[in-house]
Amino acid sequence: MRRTPALRALIRETDLAPRHLVAPLFVKEGVAEPLPIASMPGQSQHTLESLRKEASEIASTGVLAFMLFGVPERKDAEGSQAWNPNGIAQRALRVLREELGDDHVVIADLCLDEYTDHGHCGVLDEHDQVDNDATLERYRRIATAQAEAGAHLVGPSGMMDGQVAAIREGLDTAGYTDTVIMAYAAKFASGFYGPFREAVSSSLSGDRRTYQQDAGNAREALHEVRLDIDEGADIVMVKPAMSYLDVVRAASDISPVPVAAYQVSGEFSMISAAAANGWIDLRTVALETLTSIRRAGADFVLTYWAVDVAEWLA
């Protein structure tokens, strides 16, 4: 049954196609040309114009969805540029909608870490601890600004308690009842986020272990998934993907809504580095890892290899 490629294709249980991939993109305010991200080969912080061109080229390969991360010129303690209608993320969302329309899916990262001068995913109280409820009010503002700018989906990634319910209420009150919420339901405090922090010019000092999940806790992760679904999440996500395939599988088993997984920057970069040294074959390993994430139960995967994989599969 494995003798020929046709036989293997006939009985293959898990499919991988361009429609299963989401391409993350970074846009940076105040730069005149794209800036390569040293720790993430092939990825850049884009200008608005280069973002438009990159998205168009990726779309032509069959990839349907894009996840946008904004990098502002100015940061403050509140992260106010995150909901500024003329902030870099909102301008970039409008560019993507103009370029792609409704033929593709534009997703906005909904968080504060790229926008705060302290680098946390929420506002801080007088003890320099993240204030959950005060942060929810900012998330409502961000969601509304992103929906107004044209986001089909918003992706709250801060792991604040009650974030999905607060965002749903904010969107519905503003009239954006059709805007989809893709909740980062099980986001772990991981060492695999390192290159991403370069990509978004993070100001973080310390860590986020007081609100992101502990790597040892699978039952807690499923509890978070259920809470987000109960609050109205349309899609739930597990992040990172490769070290948490058991959580992806378990979430898929219990979830009545689609499950996404994020193959994060560190996963991408370590494989890229090994391939650059000739220790592994990049194409083989990239396809293998993405297939394993799909096999574990992910309906789609955010990956920095989206365009490469789409071209390989063509």
> Which residues carry out catalysis?
187, 239
What is d(CA 275, CA 107) in angstroms, rounded to the nearest whole number? 30
What is d(CA 36, CA 234) in angstroms, rounded to the nearest whole number? 34
CB 264 within 8 A of CB 241: yes
Q: Could you tell me which of 145, 136, 56, 164 has the C-alpha nearest to residue 93?
A: 145
What is d(CA 191, CA 63) in angstroms, rounded to the nearest whole number? 28
β-bridge mates for residue 291, sequence order: none
Going by C-beta distance under 8 Å and a sequence separation of 6 or more, which residues neighbour residue 171? Answer: 143, 144, 147, 154, 177, 179, 181
Q: Could you tell me which of 24, 189, 29, 37 has the C-alpha nearest to residue 120?
A: 189
